[in-house]
Chain A
Amino acid sequence: AQSVTQPDIHITVSEGASLELRCNYSYGATPYLFWYVQSPGQGLQLLLKYFSGDTLVQGIKGFEAEFKRSQSSFNLRKPSVHWSDAAEYFCAVVGGTGGFKTIFGAGTRLFVKA
């Protein structure tokens, strides 16, 4: 069965420091890959997505993610974190035997300290 693993339940970084959130997926082919962000009290918003082509994708708010087929990973990065980035981040996949259903990871909560 398809699955998405986000190994870190929560991460704390200092403002201005770099960030990497990990995501691994189990899938038989290249899925559609997404990162969503959920700010407190809000719904989820798309940060970025990967379907094909260049394996480094750029998203909103200065985020980027790199698809690595050999590692079944799609890690999210940001070079310099801002206090407003504090939120919960979800990695997700769509496709394959799951059809048009999104499989979400459990999420990583990001805390930003001054």
Chain B
Amino acid sequence: DADVTQTPRNRITKTGKRIMLECSQTKGHDRMYWYRQDPGLGLRLIYYSFDVKDINKGEISDGYSVSRQAQAKFSLSLESAIPNQTALYFCATMDRVNEQFFGPGTRLTVL
């Protein structure tokens, strides 16, 4: 079984809809992250969390929110999706020596 899982893997939605992307991990890591990937821009950090009570904004948090329901679960929400949020989204954990472990990604299309 994968250590970091994401659901859904693909999602097509319409402008203005609320969307939730879910992430679960079995690695036992406290640190969890949400990134978006756009061609030519690498990965950009949306939000990160060091435990259930510690949530921090990344460089591109506008239009997004997160919830850390448990050590193993970290969800990303788009309250009102817009077309420029069309991207590939990755959840990741980080271990004690700063290595990141990535989920398979969610491809989101906002029409």
Give A residues with C-beta under 8 Å from B: 9, 32, 34, 36, 42-46, 49, 51, 90, 92, 94-95, 100-102, 104-107
Give B residues with C-beta under 8 Å from A: 4, 31, 33, 40-43, 45, 48, 50, 58, 90, 92, 94, 97-100, 102-105
B102 cross-chain contacts in A, Cβ below 8 A: 43-45
Q: List 13 A-B contacts (CB under 8 A).
A: A32-B97, A32-B98, A34-B98, A34-B100, A36-B100, A44-B102, A46-B99, A46-B100, A100-B31, A102-B45, A102-B98, A104-B43, A106-B40
Main secondary structure of the interface of B (DSSP, over half): strand
**Number of residue pairs spanning A and B whose beta carbons lie under 8 angstroms apart:** 55
Say which residue of B40, B41, B45, B104 sits within 8 Å of A101 (CB atoms). B45
